[in-house]
Chains A and B, each alone.
Chain A
């Protein structure tokens, strides 16, 4: 079936460092979404991407929709302690309104 693989699985960084994570698939998707989930809470949408090659920013977050439509990356600049959480990519399956989620990247920021 369709799967979204995220890497790295987890990362520990120092406050102030930049972070990069990505999401890949063997299938082509037309929409890529990035969510953040805090412990014990539901995911919150960070960025939505709709066109291949699209680069979108939301504050210190930047995400790009890969040209092949099979991947996306999320960058966080100048990380702060509240960036801690799990970051998920998600895609909407073609012809449906069903979303599949990636495996997640767990981020820990050391002050």
Chain B
């Protein structure tokens, strides 16, 4: 069964360092989402791509976060510099088309900033 792949699964870094997370959506899925999930809370959307274009990044802290999906397939989310408050699970999800409610989530990357 096709799955959304994410790496790394775990990342520990010191504040002020740069970190990057990678996501490979299910093959053929045009829509890709990055979410941040703070412990004890629900996921919060950071950025949504339709193919290679950003559809919504209103919740992305653009002073330190960036996301790209250059060829409309896999995607990278970067944080530079990392802050203590960035410690969270970063989830990637994909769906076949925009608006389709069936989003398939990856296992996430758990980031700890020391």
Question: Could you tell me which A residues sit within 8 Å of B by CB distance?
Answer: 4, 31, 33, 40-45, 48, 88, 90, 92, 96-104
Contact = CB atoms under 8 A, between A and B. Distances in A.
Most chain B beta carbons < 10 A, residue from A42, A88, A100, A102: A42
Interface string B84-105: 0000000101000011011101
Contact of B55 (A33, A43, A88, A97): A97
B42 A101 contact: yes
A42 B107 contact: yes
A48 B101 contact: yes
A64 B41 CA distance: 23
A41 B108 contact: yes
Contacts of A40: 107-108, 110
Which 4 A-B pairs have CB atoms at the shortest separation, nearest pair first?
Answer: A42-B105, A101-B42, A48-B101, A101-B43
B14 interface: no
A103 B91 CA distance: 16
A42 B31 contact: no
B101 A45 contact: yes
Given A96-B56, A97-B48, A98-B48, A45 B102 contact: yes
Contacts of A42: 4, 91, 93, 105-108
